């Protein structure tokens, strides 16, 4: 897809402004230009960019693209991004594991699950595995207390977890990835 | 009108009044952190919780509007309890370093804990610790002390239209500060420090100097520009240590020049004794000897048929101009005196509005020929206010505006030296005449101009003519104003140009500073008196100044520092700063204000009116018997009420020399504009050396990179400096900074602040 100069004078102006980041900005602007340049679309834009990024994070250029597109200071976009825990400013793995640490899951052994995951992946909460496949995060209630303890990997929920089950799930995802 | 009872006091308030405002009316104190009268209410801090009869929960007073019949308690047990809890929570992570905190004594947290808090701490846990951030020479940010009221963020957002200052993360992990900058200095930074209720943002200049209760505060008027903000000067032991803006007038905000630009008063390089030339040396003498020497030499010059002239800074008081003017005109018999040392050949004119509120009320603005945020920063905030709220539209014909362009509906950014061409074209559009040819070579499109003309006709604008306008430009702008039925507001350089004009401190023949300097070169003027201004720094023709000063028989300089002008002098008289003497100043709305003396002059320093008085006594024709500045004030008041006609200066300005590759505008950076800013250490650190700015696209085209070292060539003179890319610079032009007493950049100029320059990369 190429930008038409007359249609996207605003986008082109932004591209001219930051020559060193031109390529990266160009990619992001292509994603966000379907939204009108008004503030209420900021979250949508940021989500789209984060989903597009293979490492599921928002690089500085993404914030710059959104800030320039909306005519906001970079600091304001940064404060929005840092407010929401679903956005990340650090590169993350291909799959994001979110373990519930709310009381119902805790009561049924949630912390054991977290320890098991840490051991299985050999990382701490917030880190990425060395192969870049998994990021381990914690989350508040996922709303599936009936199958506690629970966790979420990307968009799928896994319940009634045990240590063996976790091993199985991780292995399966690894296998599936390798097959692709 | 709703009737409410607050702590047993009944009051009727207009609908929409908040509980807090109603309580303020009856004089009941409700503690607040996040509320500020000039910021929009936010309801963040919960310090202002009050109890309302019949409501299940406590309500935040700053955002809750009163309803008829409410019974409000601000002092009940529940409220007291809530305050105690809140303060205890705030103090969980607070470092309690009041003994070393600069805010102590004026800290709202300290006051509230003292008044409303409970001396207990029940949670003993390791507090969060954040590093102290030294954000450049102006402010220091200490997140540990922050109470998360977000006043600074809201100021940056609401008044300045967003800067690199925000809140990040949330809850107890919240952090406030700049996102990408290590140095935070944004023209209005002082307000953020002043707004901070605790010591999270403190001044770097005031850091660890003294305690607030040891300072003696005197009300005065800022000496940097003609907005004339009221200041409170905090003095201790003859040192000016802190400036506050307590009265919030004429605007609730002031700029960094007003808030931080006072360091020159205590500067260690200040010379406070008179000096007299003996061969190649300047020797210290007594005041008496110096005045005798000056009066004698001047008298000798006049008796032998030579002329004497006086060039005085436009930052002094009316009393100074009045007595110096009388001395020059009546005693010396000179016709050559002037205050317009920033160059230019215009005299002040009466404005159409009389206050900043009047400015804020306008529906549209047309600003021509000045970067308002540099020379009249508070006026720029007032203009921005309506535009930010969407009430007003802003039209700019300004080369390289650095602040207001964010708010502009249409921004004509002409090449340097072409502002008046665009103005002429605008007048033609409004008059229905052909204008296309006028826009040639200005880099302004016809569409911009058409939209501008249309917008100006729809709403009644306030027209602001900047200090860069020539007399011809002013005539053009008046023409535009007439067509729209408005008298423009013309701005001048210096904080008291209006006063100097009204006191008659100008040549009756209408000679400009350039004419006076030319007469020095030709030998007609043999003696010159210069006060409080370094001609080499501010007059835009360094070559002419050099020639004139070296050609003089006798030069007296009345100043605070050893500037280049002093180096040419035969006698140096020490001057006082604005804090050391009172007087009357006239602001941009022709309003007379009184400056008060904060402390006594250092050593032998004298204000100009005393010098004039002393000289007249030594001459043998005393001007009168004045003991203090207050004795002169009645004469000033009388003069201020008179109508003064300015001589016509049309046709006096020669065309700008724009030959060369790139037309350039020589403009002060914000932290270099104003009085003696090159002796304010913090400002010198912020802008240490001159630089050239180019539009990024244009810079790319020329093959430069941001931050390159370049050689600027003008008339075979080479200046080596740094090059930066800035968006506000028009394509095809350049903006060069000036205002450096230790860098001879005015040698590149020829009387106007436009000049054609050549740029090339410096060889390493």
Give the residue from chain B lying closest to A64, CA to CA: B180
Tokens 């050396």 correspond to what residue?
A: B689
Q: Is-contact B55 B47, C-beta < 8 A?
A: no
Nearest Cα to Cα of residue B311 among B683, B655, B569: B569
If you count residue pairs, one on A and one on B, with CB atoms under 8 Å apart, how many are there? 38
Q: Which residues of B touch A (CB under 8 A)?
A: 157, 162-170, 178-180, 696-697, 700, 727
The pLDDT of residue B701 is above 60: yes
Bridge partner list, B735: B665, B693
- Copy the structure tokens of residue A57: 């994070």
Residue B166: its chain A contacts at CB < 8 A? 73, 75-76, 78-79
Q: What's the rounded mean pLDDT across residues A56-69? A: 90
Q: List pLDDT tens digits, range B142-191.
A: 999 999 999 999 999 999 988 999 999 888 889 999 998 889 999 999 99
Q: Is-contact B513 B340, C-beta < 8 A?
A: yes
pLDDT score recorded for residue A6: 38
Between chains, do B164 and A75 touch, taking CB under 8 Å as contact? yes
Nearest to A75 among B169, B179, B700 (CB): B179
Tokens 């914030």 correspond to what residue?
A: A63
pLDDT score recorded for residue A180: 75
Between chains, do B700 and A19 touch, taking CB under 8 Å as contact? yes
Domains and CATH numbers, chain B: 3-75 (3.10.20.740), 128-266 (no CATH), 275-346+497-640 (3.40.50.740), 356-490 (3.40.228.10), 662-761 (2.40.40.20)
Q: List pLDDT tens digits, range B90-145.
A: 998 898 899 999 999 999 999 999 999 988 888 888 888 899 999 999 999 999 99
Our measurement of the distance from residue B537's CA atom to the centroid of its chain's CA atoms, rounded to an integer in Å, reads 18
Bridge partner list, B665: B735, B754
Give the residue from chain A lying closest to B725, CA to CA: A17
Residue B180: its chain A contacts at CB < 8 A? 74-75
Nearest Cα to Cα of residue B381 among B186, B167, B244, B193: B186
The pLDDT of residue A100 is above 60: yes
The pLDDT of residue A10 is above 80: no
Q: Is-contact B301 B527, C-beta < 8 A?
A: yes
Percent of chain A surpassing pLDDT 70: 88
Percent of chain B surpassing pLDDT 70: 99
- Copy the structure tokens of residue B333: 């018999």
pLDDT score recorded for residue B172: 82
Tell me how far apart the alpha carbons of residues B150 and B129 are, in angstroms, rounded to a whole number.
19
What are the phi and psi torsion angles at B461 (to 5°)?
-90, 165
pLDDT score recorded for residue A13: 65
Between chains, do A75 and B697 touch, taking CB under 8 Å as contact? no
Between chains, do B166 and A78 touch, taking CB under 8 Å as contact? yes
Between chains, do A73 and B169 touch, taking CB under 8 Å as contact? no
Q: List pLDDT tens digits, range B537-566.
A: 999 999 999 999 999 999 999 999 999 999
Between chains, do B166 and A19 touch, taking CB under 8 Å as contact? no
Residue A16: its chain B contacts at CB < 8 A? 696-697
Between chains, do B170 and A83 touch, taking CB under 8 Å as contact? yes
Q: Is A12 touching B (CB cutoff 8 A)? A: no
Between chains, do B168 and A79 touch, taking CB under 8 Å as contact? yes
Q: Is A16 touching B (CB cutoff 8 A)? A: yes
**What's the mean per-residue pLDDT of chain A?**
86
User: If pLDDT is split at 50, 70 and 90, which confidence band does A179 have?
Assistant: confident
Nearest to A72 among B162, B180, B700 (CB): B162
CA distance A76 to chain B (A): 6
Between chains, do A19 and B167 touch, taking CB under 8 Å as contact? no
User: If pLDDT is split at 50, 70 and 90, which confidence band does A5 have?
Assistant: very low
The pLDDT of residue B317 is above 60: yes
Enter the DSSP assignment of B143: G
Pair type for strands B59-60 and B49-52: antiparallel
Between chains, do B696 and A16 touch, taking CB under 8 Å as contact? yes
pLDDT score recorded for residue B584: 95
CATH 3.40.30.10 range(s) for chain A read 95-179
Query: How far apart, in Å, do the first and last CA atoms of chain A sit?
Result: 27
- Copy the structure tokens of residue B46: 């919960």
Enter the DSSP assignment of B560: S
pLDDT score recorded for residue A148: 86
Q: Which of B158, B164, B166, B702 to mutate to test the interface with A (most CBs of A within 10 A)?
A: B166
Residue B727: its chain A contacts at CB < 8 A? 17
Q: Is B10 in a helix, a strand, or coil?
A: strand
Q: Which helix (H) or strand (E) holds B757?
A: strand B754-761
Nearest to B165 among A72, A75, A82 (CB): A75
CA distance A86 to chain B (A): 12
Sequence-distant (≥ 6) Cβ neighbours of residue B62 within 8 angstroms: B18, B19, B20, B32, B34, B35, B41, B42, B43, B48
Q: Is B178 in a helix, a strand, or coil?
A: strand
Tell me how far apart the alpha carbons of residues B188 and B229 are, in angstroms, rounded to a whole number.
13
Nearest Cα to Cα of residue B245 among B258, B236, B263: B258
Between chains, do B166 and A16 touch, taking CB under 8 Å as contact? no
Our measurement of the distance from residue A15's CA atom to the centroid of its chain's CA atoms, rounded to an integer in Å, reads 25
Q: What's the rounded mean pLDDT across residues B8-12? A: 93
User: If pLDDT is split at 50, 70 and 90, which confidence band does A17 have?
Assistant: low
Give the residue from chain A lying closest to B180, CA to CA: A75
pTM, rounded to two decimals: 0.92
Q: Is A19 touching B (CB cutoff 8 A)? A: yes
pLDDT score recorded for residue A2: 41
Q: Which of A14, A22, A72, A76 to mutate to test the interface with B (most CBs of B within 10 A)?
A: A76
| Residue B390 burial (C-beta neighbours within 10 Å; 0-12, 13-18, 19+) | exposed
Tell me how far apart the alpha carbons of residues B590 and B586 are, in angstroms, rounded to a whole number.
5
Between chains, do A82 and B169 touch, taking CB under 8 Å as contact? yes
* Count of C-beta atoms within a 10 Å radius of residue B509: 9
Rounded to 5°, the CA angle A141-A146-A152 comes to: 45
Q: Which residues of B607-618 are buried (b: 16+ CB within 10 A; e: fewer)?
A: bbbbbbbbbbeb
Q: Is-contact B583 B499, C-beta < 8 A?
A: no
Q: Is-contact A37 A69, C-beta < 8 A?
A: yes
Residue B700: its chain A contacts at CB < 8 A? 19
Angle between helices B608-619 and B318-326 (to 10 degrees): 20
Sequence-distant (≥ 6) Cβ neighbours of residue A49 within 8 angstroms: A28, A31, A32, A58, A62, A65, A66
Enter the DSSP assignment of B33: S
pLDDT score recorded for residue B10: 93
Give the residue from chain B lying closest to A60, CA to CA: B180
What part of A 37-76 touches B (C-beta under 8 Å)?
72-76
Provide ipTM, 2 decimals. 0.86
The pLDDT of residue A173 is above 80: yes
CA distance B531 to chain A (A): 44
Tell me how far apart the alpha carbons of residues B629 and A158 are, in angstroms, rounded to a whole number.
85
Residue B696: its chain A contacts at CB < 8 A? 16-17, 19
- Copy the structure tokens of residue B389: 């709220």
Residue B157: its chain A contacts at CB < 8 A? 76
Between chains, do B166 and A17 touch, taking CB under 8 Å as contact? no
Between chains, do A74 and B168 touch, taking CB under 8 Å as contact? no
- A95-179 CATH: 3.40.30.10
Between chains, do A75 and B170 touch, taking CB under 8 Å as contact? no
Enter the DSSP assignment of B594: E
Tell me the CA distances in angstroms from B473 to B89, B374, B418, B422, one per residue in order: 61, 20, 11, 10
């Amino acid at each position: 897809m190429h930008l038409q100069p007359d249609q996207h004078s605003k986008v082109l102006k932004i591209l001219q402004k930051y020559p060193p980041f031109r390529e990266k900005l160009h990619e992001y602007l292509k994603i966000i230009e379907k939204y009108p340049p008004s503030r209420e679309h900021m979250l949508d834009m940021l989500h789209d960019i984060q989903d597009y990024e293979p490492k599921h994070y928002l690089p500085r250029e993404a914030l710059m693209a959104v800030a320039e597109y909306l005519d906001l200071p970079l600091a304001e976009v940064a404060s929005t991004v840092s407010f929401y825990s679903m956005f990340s400013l650090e590169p993350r793995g291909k799959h994001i594991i979110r373990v519930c640490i709310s009381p119902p899951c805790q009561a049924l052994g949630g912390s054991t699950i977290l320890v098991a995951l840490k051991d299985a992946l050999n990382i701490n909460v917030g880190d990425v595995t060395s192969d870049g496949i998994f990021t381990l995060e914690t989350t508040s209630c996922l709303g599936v207390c009936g199958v506690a303890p629970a966790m979420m990997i990307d968009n799928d929920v896994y319940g009634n977890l045990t240590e063996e089950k976790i091993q199985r799930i991780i292995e399966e995802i690894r296998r599936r990835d390798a097959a692709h | 009108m709703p009737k409410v009872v607050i702590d047993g006091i009944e009051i009727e308030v207009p609908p929409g009044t908040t509980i807090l405002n109603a309580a303020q009316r009856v004089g009941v104190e409700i503690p607040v952190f996040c509320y500020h009268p000039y910021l929009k209410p936010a309801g963040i801090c919960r310090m202002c919780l009050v109890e309302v009869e019949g409501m299940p929960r406590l309500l935040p007073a700053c955002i809750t509007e009163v309803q008829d019949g409410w019974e409000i308690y601000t002092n009940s047990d529940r409220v007291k309890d809530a305050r105690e809890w809140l303060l205890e929570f705030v103090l969980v992570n607070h470092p309690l370093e009041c003994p070393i905190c600069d805010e102590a004594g004026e800290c709202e947290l300290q006051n509230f804990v003292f008044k409303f808090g409970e001396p207990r701490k029940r949670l003993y846990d390791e507090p969060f610790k954040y590093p102290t951030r030294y954000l450049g020479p102006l402010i220091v940010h200490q997140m540990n002390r922050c109470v998360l009221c977000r006043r600074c963020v809201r100021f940056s957002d609401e008044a300045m239209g967003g800067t690199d200052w925000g809140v990040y993360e949330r809850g107890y992990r919240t952090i406030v500060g700049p996102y990408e900058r290590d140095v935070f200095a944004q023209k209005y930074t002082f307000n953020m420090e002043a707004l901070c209720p605790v010591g999270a943002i403190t001044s770097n200049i005031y850091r660890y100097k003294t305690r607030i209760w040891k300072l003696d505060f005197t009300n005065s008027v800022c000496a940097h520009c003609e907005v004339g903000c009221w200041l409170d000067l905090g003095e201790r032991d003859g040192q000016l240590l802190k400036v506050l803006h307590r009265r919030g007038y004429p605007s609730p905000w002031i700029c960094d020049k007003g808030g931080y630009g006072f360091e020159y008063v205590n500067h260690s390089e200040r010379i406070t004794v008179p000096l007299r030339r003996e061969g190649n040396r300047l020797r210290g003498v007594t005041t008496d000897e110096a005045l005798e020497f000056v009066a004698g030499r001047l008298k000798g010059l006049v008796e032998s048929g030579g002329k004497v002239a006086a060039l005085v800074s436009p930052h002094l008081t009316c009393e100074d101009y009045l007595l110096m003017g009388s001395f020059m005109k009546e005693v010396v018999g000179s016709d050559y005196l002037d205050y317009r040392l920033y160059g230019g050949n215009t005299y002040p004119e009466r404005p159409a509005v009389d206050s900043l509120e009047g400015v804020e009320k306008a529906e549209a603005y047309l600003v021509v020929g000045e970067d308002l945020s540099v020379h009249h920063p508070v006026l720029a905030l007032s203009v921005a206010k309506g535009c930010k709220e969407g009430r007003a539209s802003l039209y700019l014909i300004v080369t390289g505006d650095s602040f207001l362009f964010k708010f502009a509906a249409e921004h004509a950014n002409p090449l340097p030296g072409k502002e008046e061409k665009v103005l002429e074209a605008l007048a033609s559009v409004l008059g229905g005449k052909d204008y296309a040819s006028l826009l040639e070579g200005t880099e302004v499109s016809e569409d911009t101009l058409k939209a501008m003309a249309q917008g100006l006709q729809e709403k009644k604008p306030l027209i602001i003519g900047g200090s860069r306008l020539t007399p011809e430009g002013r005539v053009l702008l008046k023409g535009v104003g007439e067509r729209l039925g408005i008298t423009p507001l013309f701005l001048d350089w210096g904080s008291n140009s209006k006063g100097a004009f009204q006191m008659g401190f100008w040549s009756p023949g209408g000679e400009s500073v350039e004419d006076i300097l030319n007469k020095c070169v030709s030998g007609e003027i043999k003696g010159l008196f210069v006060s409080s201004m370094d001609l080499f720094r501010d007059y835009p023709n360094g070559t002419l100044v050099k020639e004139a000063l070296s050609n003089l028989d006798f030069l007296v300089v009345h100043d605070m520092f050893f500037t280049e002008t002093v180096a040419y002098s035969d006698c140096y008289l020490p001057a006082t700063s604005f804090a050391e003497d009172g007087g009357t100043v006239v602001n941009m709305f022709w309003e007379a204000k009184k400056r008060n003396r904060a402390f006594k002059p250092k050593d032998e320093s004298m204000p100009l009116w005393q010098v004039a008085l002393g000289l007249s006594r030594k001459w043998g024709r005393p001007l009168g018997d004045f003991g203090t500045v207050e004795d002169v004030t009645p004469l000033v008041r009388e003069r201020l009420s008179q109508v003064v006609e300015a001589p016509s200066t049309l046709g006096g300005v020669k065309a700008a020399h724009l030959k060369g590759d790139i037309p350039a505008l020589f403009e002060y950076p914000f932290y270099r504009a104003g009085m003696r800013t090159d002796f304010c250490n913090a400002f010198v650190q912020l802008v240490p050396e001159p630089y050239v700015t180019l539009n990024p696209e244009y810079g790319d085209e020329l093959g430069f990179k941001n931050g390159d070292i370049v050689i600027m060539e003008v008339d075979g003179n080479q200046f080596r400096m740094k090059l930066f890319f800035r968006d506000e610079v028009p394509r095809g032009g350049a903006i060069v900074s000036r205002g450096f007493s230790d860098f001879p950049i005015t040698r590149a100029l020829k009387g106007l602040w436009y000049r054609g320059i050549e740029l090339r990369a410096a060889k390493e």
